[in-house]
Amino acid sequence: MLTLLWRLALLVAAGLGIMWLADRPGTVNILWLGKEIHLSVLMGLIIIVVSFAAIYVVLRIINRIWRVPSDVRGSLRERKTRKAYESLSRGIIAAGAGDAQAAQRHAALAGDTLHGNPLVKLLGAQAAQLRGDRDEVRRVFETMTGHSDTELLGLRGLFAHARDNGDWHAARLHAEAAHAKNNRLPWASAAVLQSLLAHKDFEAAARNVAQQGKSGLMTKAEAARKQAALLTAAALAVEDSNKPHALELAASAHGLDMSLVPAAALLARLQSAGGHPRKAWKVLRSTYALSPHRELAAVVAHLHDDEPEKQYERVRDLTSAEPSSLEGRYALAQAAVAADRHQAAREILAPLLDNQPPAGICALMAEVEDAAGEAVKSHSWLTRALAAPRDPVWVSDGVASARWVAVSPVTGEIVPAEWKAPFEQPVQAKLGFHPRVDSAAKSPAGAPTPTAALPRPPDDPGVEQSS
């Protein structure tokens, strides 16, 4: 619209100019080669404009003729480039279809024209992979790493090549190089994390997970949960050798995930050993309210080196936050037995005894009755424990362990162990309590005699025991 208005304005201006000249007549005299020419001013201007227009047209024609050879060469080059891209497209399709010969042929045709094109190099690498030429594959990807625009593509190709050949050391180096260039690459970040986990470098793995959370490769909640697990594993690894650093790591883990029992238990132990039992008590209370666990109660009981009665009172105060939980009743009953409160232990465990209590509860009841001098009842509870459901243990990817782990023993991924029963069906339990043998006591008729250590059934994979 603006262009049309501009042209209309020019026409109006030209018309007004012609009218202005027509109202002011005059003559132009030209003397050239002995001849005198008389023209009006308007005619002289028309002749000048026509002359310039003619000169412009002639120059355009000459320029067009002059450019014919270059235009022909450009047309041929464009045609050749178009055919090269067609060959590249056909080659990619052939590679996808698994036709190694066609892919190699089209890659060669495209490479004659499209020198340095990343897609041509990638097609050549795919064709070499289809042919099984590993040396050529490596050479192509190494060539890519020499150019900034294809460096990451080449590193990923070298990573995949080394991984497929079982060279995990080289694969890790290529992944680390790509991660250093761009830490937002999912494949590079995941490969570096897997390598760190395999080498048990949990602190570096935690930093990697934190970066993945910032980059959006995983949700912030997932990143915080996994980072807390890794920091806890790192703290447990240096608990005996470097307590200050273990305390720092455990505090960071607890800040990221207050429901993580191993982090809270470790932090409380270290704080108590450092002369800060109040801080330890606060940590244990906050975590127990989220995740009731007997390990937290065990740490509470030993915050101070005092008599069992005081320990029982502290455990009772802790478990009052979740009085009906199995973990709380188990821990409180243990503390009651240690304090010789046998009747209190019976009352604490009573609500758990009607509906198939786990083997640990049965064994604890046997210990209560044994401590109270009731050998027959103790043996009866031990017999019941033989067919009771399993006690909860730390389970990661279906593998049970006596100790908490942050990394799956099956896949090597970050799968923090959960506190639960390893199998749903009742199985024969291995008991840690051995009753006193009283020759005067007689077992009920037909009741089997408990043994100190019961063999595992053939279908029981067993539980990894701590040393």
pLDDT tens per residue, range 310-343: 999 999 999 987 777 889 999 999 999 889 898 9
Rounded-to-integer distance, Cα 214 and Cα 220, Å:
7
User: For the chain, which residues make up each domain, given as ranges?
Assistant: 378-467
Mean pLDDT score, 102-127: 77
pLDDT-based confidence at 150, cuts 50/70/90?
Answer: confident
Highest-confidence segment of 74-83, 131-140, 226-235: 226-235
Instruction: Say yes or no to pLDDT of 100 above 80.
Output: no
pLDDT number for residue 276? 92
| Helix, strand or coil, per DSSP, at residue 28 | strand
Q: Which residue has the higher pLDDT, 298 or 73?
A: 298
User: Measured in whole angstroms, how far is the alpha carbon of residue 456 from the centre of its chain?
Assistant: 38
Model-level pTM? 0.68
Asked if residue 318 lies in contact with residue 284, where contact means CB atoms within 8 angstroms, the answer is: yes
Tens-place pLDDT, residues 169-178: 888 899 989 9
Cβ neighbours, 10 Å, residue 434: 15
Helices and strands, number each (H, E), in the chain: 19, 5
Closest C-alpha among 402, 394, 328, 335 to residue 367:
335
Alpha-carbon distance 401 to 130, whole Å?
Answer: 45
Q: What is the pLDDT of residues 407-455, one digit of tens each?
A: 999 999 999 999 998 865 443 334 444 444 444 444 443 344 443 333 3
Tokens of 98: 């698994």
**What's residue 352's pLDDT?**
87
Pairing of the two strands 27-32 and 35-40: antiparallel
Average pLDDT rounded to a whole number, residues 367-376: 87
Q: In this predicted structure, what is the pLDDT of residue 69?
A: 85
- Predicted confidence (pLDDT) per residue in 265-302, tens digit: 999 999 999 999 999 999 999 999 999 999 999 999 98
- Looking at residue 128, its pLDDT comes to 79
2 vs 300 pLDDT, higher one: 300
Quick one: pLDDT band at residue 130, thresholds 50, 70, 90?
Answer: confident
